[in-house]
């Protein structure tokens, strides 16, 4: 299977945003020495800070533009939330949601310390995303779904995009004329499971 073609300008924006946000600032002190490696790093509470090359690919596929409203599902340490805020710029809105209370606190602290223009909220149990605040222009999911999360598709604006790993395959969903159009990227990915219960 061939990969989804990504606009080189989107890749360049992602490289610039990622270079402006230090990964080490979002890692616990005892593992900050691993920040430069291209691998996931455990951050506690059975969570990981994702592999940089994986984050770069997901964000290039997501193609966030300045001014976008962005939802970051499974914000973890807050690193991807901060990168998304750099991509959305000051005109945009970036909200992370996280189920683990300790990670909500940890991620919030990291955003404050790094001055990122974003927020992290405690996810509501049995509620996927933020349906009451939809629609969003972009939704990033940093956890593995077993099937396409249709409840997140429903939170996309017209012209919006969702990027989510589904059963190991990075999947892109675009909303055009109210209809979701789904594409699979090349490669296999491993993430912690997405809490999908109703």
Active-site amino acid positions: 50
Whether the CB-CB separation of 111 and 94 falls below 8 Å is answered with no
Residue among 57, 114, 119, 113 nearest 88 (CA): 119
Its sign, for the CA torsion 62, 137, 192, 16, is: positive
Rounded to whole angstroms, the Cα distance separating 16 from 20 reads 6
Residue 142 corresponds to which tokens in the numbers above? 């940093």
């Amino acid at each position: 299977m061939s990969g989804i073609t990504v606009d080189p300008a989107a890749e360049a924006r992602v490289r610039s945003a990622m270079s402006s946000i230090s990964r080490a600032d979002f890692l616990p002190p005892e593992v900050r020495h691993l920040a430069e490696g291209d691998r996931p790093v455990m951050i506690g509470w059975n969570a990981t800070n994702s592999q940089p090359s994986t984050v770069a690919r997901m964000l290039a596929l997501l193609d966030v533009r300045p001014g976008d409203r962005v939802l970051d599902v499974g914000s973890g340490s807050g690193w991807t939330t901060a990168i998304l805020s750099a991509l959305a710029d000051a005109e945009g809105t970036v909200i992370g949601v996280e189920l683990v209370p300790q990670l909500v606190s940890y991620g919030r602290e990291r955003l404050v310390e790094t001055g990122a223009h974003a927020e992290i909220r405690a996810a509501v149990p049995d509620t996927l995303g933020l349906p009451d605040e939809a629609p969003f222009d972009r939704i990033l999911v940093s956890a593995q779904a077993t099937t396409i999360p249709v409840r997140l598709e429903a939170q996309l604006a017209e012209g919006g995009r969702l990027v989510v790993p589904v059963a190991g395959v990075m999947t892109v969903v675009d909303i055009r004329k109210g209809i979701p159009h789904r594409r699979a990227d090349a490669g296999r990915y491993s993430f912690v499971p997405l809490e999908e219960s109703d």
